[in-house]
Amino acid sequence: MMAETKSYDVGVIGGGGAGLTAALYTSRANLKTVLIEKLTSGGQIALTDIVENYPGFPSGVTGPEISMKMEEQAKRYGTEIIFEQVEQIAKKEKQFEIKTASNRYQSKAVILALGSSFRKLGVEGEKELTGHGVSYCATCDGAFFKDKSILVVGGGDSALQEGLFLTRFARKVQVIHRRDQLRAGPILQKRAEENPKIEFIWNTVVTKILGEKKVESVILKDVKTGAEKQAPAEGVFIFIGHDPNSGFLKGVVDLDEKGYVVTQGHLKTSVPGIFAAGEIRSGSTRQLIAACGEGCEAALSAQAYLEEKN
Ligand code: NAP
């Protein structure tokens, strides 16, 4: 049986940098705020080894540390944090109803800060061997790969940052990239190129991941020649970008062709009273500092909306 519906001024959905900052600002503005997060505070940042580009931390800060501090700060000003997965948002008279598997919440304004999830390769063996050598999180699983030979798929900042982290444990890290030029920025490129444990395999994609109970090998395809070969591997870490966590938002607010939430000025969505911030937003720069900035802007917009309404 569902518990009694609790009412709030602002419902923030998602507890990454954008959501936690939005909740901090609305709570400090004396607006009764609930933040609903499906997993852990910090979102993707909580799974990141070290954040080196957030101002104020000249030696970097670990992902879990900054996540915990942001959560503590929002709670300090009264944010109620609930760990449940949101399944639906609907307009009910003058309020929004936010429905999770076990509860319903009402709020006068909503801030969408749902972020995005790791993109899957979609090849044979990936799903079956996830947790048995296939991983999307070096910080979570790296220690299981001590002295092993592993593959990292992708050529962006995540692939290199996580690949570099994995060299602390692995004997060898091969970065498989579908082009012959990295997308990652120059600092990470230089660090990866100088690391003796990292080797690059260019113009190549993984077409199958093989293994009985755990990853044993992969099929690699040269995208220029089409030639395929089997290569041994003890782990496959996949960092090929992200997809928006906007499944239940279809038909609720306008989304772009990739499923990201479209916003106008002041981070308003197509529905008055619903705002969006961070990686869920079409055009986001996917940086923690920007997500936090957008969380602040969405909170100020929600505040202005509520003042106008009353
Ligand atoms: P990304 O920048 O979108 O890079 C994804 C990489 O995966 C690209 O190299 C792409 O190849 C490759 N890829 C995509 N789909 C693929 C497929 N189906 N098969 C094989 N390869 C595929 O994603 P990201 O690295 O996760 O970074 C996301 C954002 O976070 C970026 O804005 C990044 O700057 C930021 N970030 C920053 C830091 C940092 O500043 N230290 C760390 C992590 C992430 P192509 O290059 O050919 O497209």
> For domain 134-238, which CATH number applies: 3.50.50.60, 3.40.50.620, 3.40.630.40, 3.40.50.10680?
3.50.50.60
- 111 closest CA partner among 55, 3, 31: 31
Mean pLDDT within 139-149: 94
Q: Is 296 among the catalytic positions?
A: no
Q: Name the closest-CA residue to atom 29, ligand 1.
A: 286
Q: Which value, in Å, is the radius of gyration of the alpha carbons in the chain?
A: 21
C-beta of 179 in contact with ligand 1 (< 6 A): yes
Residues 6+ apart with CB under 8 A from 44: 16, 115, 116, 242, 279
Distance CA(11)–CA(105), nearest Å, equals 8
What separation in Å is there between the alpha carbon of 160 and the centre of ligand 1?
A: 9
Q: Name the closest-CA residue to atom 9, ligand 1.
A: 155
Token digits of residue 176: 């498989």
The pLDDT of residue 4: 72
pLDDT digits (tens, 9 = 90+) for 62-73: 999 999 999 999
- Residue that is written with structure tokens 């772009």 in the block: 256
Please report the DSSP string for 180-223 in residue order. SS--S-HHHHHHHHH-TTEEEE-SEEEEEEE-SSS--EEEEEET
Q: How would you class 155 by CB atoms within 10 Å of its CB: exposed for 0-12, middle for 13-18, buried for 19 or more?
A: buried
Q: Is 292 among the catalytic positions?
A: no
10 Å Cβ neighbour count for 27? 24
Distance CA(297)–CA(281), nearest Å, equals 13
Mutation choice for ligand 1 from 66, 174, 183, CB with most ligand atoms inside 8 A: 183
Mean pLDDT within 56-80: 97
Hey, where are the domains in the chain? Answer: 6-118+242-309, 134-238
- CB of 29 within 8 A of CB of 46? no
pLDDT score of 293 more than 70? yes
Q: How confident is the model at residue 186 (pLDDT cuts 50, 70, 90)?
A: very high
C-beta of 95 in contact with ligand 1 (< 6 A): no
Percent of the chain with pLDDT over 70: 99
pLDDT score of 1 more than 80? no
| Window from 130-134, 137-141, 174-178, 280-284 with minimum mean pLDDT | 137-141
- CB of 79 within 8 A of CB of 58? no
Distance CA(87)–CA(138), nearest Å, equals 29
Domain 6-118+242-309, architecture per CATH: 3-Layer(bba) Sandwich (3.50)
Strand partners, 276: 112
Angle, helix 63-76 to helix 17-28, in steps of 10 degrees: 20
Higher confidence at residue 286 or residue 193? 193
- 182 closest CA partner among 160, 164, 166: 160
Ligand 1 atom with minimal separation from the 159 CA: 25
C-beta of 137 in contact with ligand 1 (< 6 A): no
The pLDDT of residue 123: 98
Domains 6-118+242-309 and 134-238 share a fold: yes
Query: Which residues in 159-190 are b (16+ Cβ under 10 Å) and which e?
Result: bbbbbbbbbebbebbbbbbeeeebebeeebbe
How far is residue 119 from each of residues 104, 135, 167, 230, 282, measured CA to CA in Å?
A: 30, 12, 23, 24, 17
Catalytic residue, chosen from 49, 141, 157, 292, is: 141
Q: Which H/E stretch holds residue 298?
A: helix 288-309
Higher confidence at residue 109 or residue 140? 109
C-beta of 191 in contact with ligand 1 (< 6 A): no
pLDDT digits (tens, 9 = 90+) for 215-254: 999 999 999 999 999 999 999 999 999 999 999 999 999 9
C-beta of 159 in contact with ligand 1 (< 6 A): yes
